[in-house]
Amino acid sequence: MCTGDCAKFIGASLYPFCALCIICNLLLLFPGWTTEAVQDPQEKLTPEVLYLGGFFGSGLLVLIPAICIQYTGRHGKLNNRVGMLVSIVLAAVAVCGSIYGFVTSLLGLLHGPQCYYQFISGDRRWTSPFKREWEYLELERSYLFHREVWSRCTIPVGVVEFNVILFSTIMVASAVQVVLCTIQMINGLLGFLCGTCQRRRGTV
């Protein structure tokens, strides 16, 4: 496959992963499928949700370079050594964005959601119970391995499963983006050093 065709394929392949990350991050703003958390985000949403790693990082910061990378892969003025050099820079920006989305989602997964938690002592309050689980819950391992405590997050309903699924989805999509963008950086370098296939095809 020519370096230009590879760039076009990688650029188009990034689109669905960007859309997936954006959608998942937006859904995280509405735990329990209600708007209650958005009305009081500082108390009812975790910082990792408000960092918008899936929206800005793995979303827009990857989507915009993806559009440009696909464009450099088309046969025309940018499908040359300079275009391939530009695609390397764009792919590097996309890698940074996807890493940001991955890290914020990983932290969100590890720290757990903000919820109205019912403690064994009978105390109930809005908190991030799993972020300091060694102090609050005395769990030997992460809350991810203790599903029996998930149901103690009474409001929003099912918020733990909600967070785990969406943050995990962003993490997986971000990891795929890193791989694709890294491949494009290598492809762009080859295109810059060796040229694209345009000259061989006689178009330029």
For residue range 19-56, list pLDDT tens digits in order. 999 999 999 999 988 888 888 888 889 999 999 999 99
In this prediction, residue 138 carries a pLDDT of 65
Q: Splitting the chain (204 residues) into consecutive groups of 10 residues, what average pLDDT does each group show?
A: 81 95 96 88 90 95 92 64 85 96 95 87 84 67 85 90 96 97 90 66 43
Name the domain count of the chain. 1
In this prediction, residue 166 carries a pLDDT of 96
Looking at the domain assignment, is residue 80 inside a domain?
yes
Looking at the domain assignment, is residue 176 inside a domain?
yes
Looking at the domain assignment, is residue 101 inside a domain?
yes
In this prediction, residue 89 carries a pLDDT of 93
Looking at the domain assignment, is residue 32 inside a domain?
yes
- What predicted TM-score, i.e. pTM, was given to this entire model? 0.88
E strand intervals along the chain:
115-118, 124-127, 153-155
User: Which DSSP symbol is given to 117?
Assistant: E
In this prediction, residue 75 carries a pLDDT of 61
In this prediction, residue 23 carries a pLDDT of 97
Looking at the domain assignment, is residue 43 inside a domain?
no
Looking at the domain assignment, is residue 135 inside a domain?
yes
Q: Residue 104 is part of which domain span?
A: 3-38+48-116+126-201
d(CA 12, CA 40): 38
Looking at the domain assignment, is residue 121 inside a domain?
no
Looking at the domain assignment, is residue 181 inside a domain?
yes
